[in-house]
Chain A
Amino acid sequence: MGIETLIAGMPGTVAQGIIYGIMALGIYITFKLLNFADLSVDGSFATGGAVAAMVIISGHSWVLALVLAFIAGALAGFITGMLHTVFGIPDILAGILTQLALYSINLRIAKNQPNTPISVDKYNLAVSLRYKNDALITVFVIAVIIIAVMYWYFGTEMGSALRATGTNPAMAKAQGISVNVMKAFGLVISNAIVAFAGALFAQFNGNADVNMGRGAIVIGLASIIIGDVLCQALFKKKSNFALSLAFVVMGGILYYIFIAIVLWLKMPANDMKLFTAIIVAIFLAVPYLKNKANSSFSKAAKRGGKVNA
């Protein structure tokens, strides 16, 4: 296959990347703002897909599909929030429990079908790989709207309280903020956005698979970290919140372009998760190692008595 196939497929690749980027925006809320490692997203991404597929198959519009997927994701986040705040289960474990439970629930939603096809020939969908260019525009507009809403919300009194909860819970409490309510609410909106992205993903690819969420958290983190590294490199300290969010989506796009190239190089699709894990590990390790290289003991020893080594 020539490079033309890769380039011809680029609008679809970018659209898929933006969908991952939207999912990553949801993960950003818990991972970056709340400082909460929420693993329920692997489940809620697939929940969004399953809900959307069933709504569309039953003859309703894609608008209702997206709305109900959003609500289903919110419920999933609420469960994780309750497990953590009311029952005192540590964050990672609370997320894993929800994720596990959602696997069964997603199968039930999909009437015990592991894969539910929703062909664009039969149904009217919000986005489809078949119409790449339209899909690209649609998901781009959606991403811009979500970034705008997040930018606005996290600048409000309530959004500030949520950020304070993530950065310093002791301080938040002393300022009269209910840390538990804020955490639960953050999980609700995070998973709602993730499920919404799952609903887009299922429509885009023409099917909802019960396994489609596997590794979603890692892809989300990949997008966040790639975006962050890029944003730091390009804007240094000048970056602001809106830009950071935009770069999360950019990270999703870059991630998926990378995957598309790997696929184009005829690497086996089954190795994709391995590649993803390696990419994320590299992007996590590089800033740390770079920092370490600048201030290492062995360098200090070599400098010895010299002041300006």
Chain B
Amino acid sequence: MLNAFNLQKTFNPGTINEKVALNGATLYLEEGEFCTVIGGNGAGKSTFLNAVAGVWPVDGGKIEIDGIDVTGLPEHKRAKYLGRVFQDPMTGTAANMQIDENMALAARRGKIRGLGWGVTKSERAKYHSMLKELDLGLEDRLTAKVGLLSGGQRQALTLLMATIQKPKLLLLDEHTAALDPKTASKVLEITDMLIKEHNLTAMMVTHNMRDAINYGNRLIMMNEGRVILNISGEEKKNLTIEDLLHKFEEVSGTEFTNDTEILSK
């Protein structure tokens, strides 16, 4: 479903702030694979997702989604293949607009937006039942402005919006990092439920190793702009945190001593 080959990206080239963010990152995902992405700060996890989403053009490499070469497509044209949830709960929704309007915007992703009503009556009924499944009490607040919702509610809504039409690929960029632990696990549950329900192909960046192990059927670890570890199948199922640390040392040749971020359990 995703074929990202040898991606290269350098920020601020030729300046004192030059940063090689992607240095040959390569990943192939089959349809229905749910891949968790881990790695230390600056490893290139979010950059990788942004490259796939088309936030900026890559310096080198090729990105195919479901066999379609999207390397040359700008962000808004790639959007029809992608569902996205961001780290900041404010990013994924339009605060000044109503819940139903936000969902309707997502329902028209990649379609031509004409002069038909922005939200139709039948849509509202559909959204009501979709929100009810989330069990967050949002179904009775369809016409409330999204800005009034909590961070967790906004992330749950963004998730729903990302999957309202089946995306070819769901990109989750540390979407629970800004939430309190209880809300984070609720949002993760919803994530897992939606991915299973729609049999989605997904990438989820996380700083939490336990989540990376518990969720999904594929795991990659990134370091210095590259995918350095690729685990799937039975191996993924039986994976422990100790295994992961051990493997990291094996592959990178360095010890996992001072990166406390990635160790958070």
Contact = CB atoms under 8 A, between A and B. Distances in A.
Given A160-B104, A176-B79, A171 B94 contact: yes
Contacts of A159: 118
Given A155-B118, A160-B101, A171 B91 contact: yes
Give chain B's interface residue range (CB within 8 Å of chain A).
20 to 34
Interface in B92-115: 92-97, 101, 104-106, 108-111, 113-115
B114 A157 contact: yes
B91 to A, nearest CB: 5
A168 B104 contact: no
Give chain A's interface residue range (CB within 8 Å of chain B).
20 to 34
Given A173-B76, A175-B79, A156 B118 contact: yes
A164 interface: yes
A168 B115 contact: no
Contact of A177 (B86, B92, B113, B115): B113
Given A163-B94, A164-B94, A167-B95, A156 B79 contact: no
Interface in A149-172: 153, 155-161, 163-164, 166-168, 170-172
Contacts of B110: 176
B117 A174 contact: no
A159 B117 CA distance: 9
B124 interface: no
A34 to B, nearest CB: 12
Contacts of A168: 90-91, 93-95
Interface centre among B82, B113, B114 (most CB of A within 10 A): B113
Contact of B75 (A157, A158, A161, A174): A174
Contacts of A157: 104, 108, 113-118
Nearest to A168: B94
A179 B90 CA distance: 18
Given A156-B114, A157-B108, A160-B105, A178 B91 contact: no
Interface of B: 53, 75-77, 79-80, 82, 84, 86, 90-97, 101, 104-106, 108-111, 113-119, 161
Which 5 A-B residue pairings sit nearest by Cβ, starting from the closest? A176-B79, A160-B118, A157-B113, A167-B96, A167-B94
Interface of A: 153, 155-161, 163-164, 166-168, 170-179
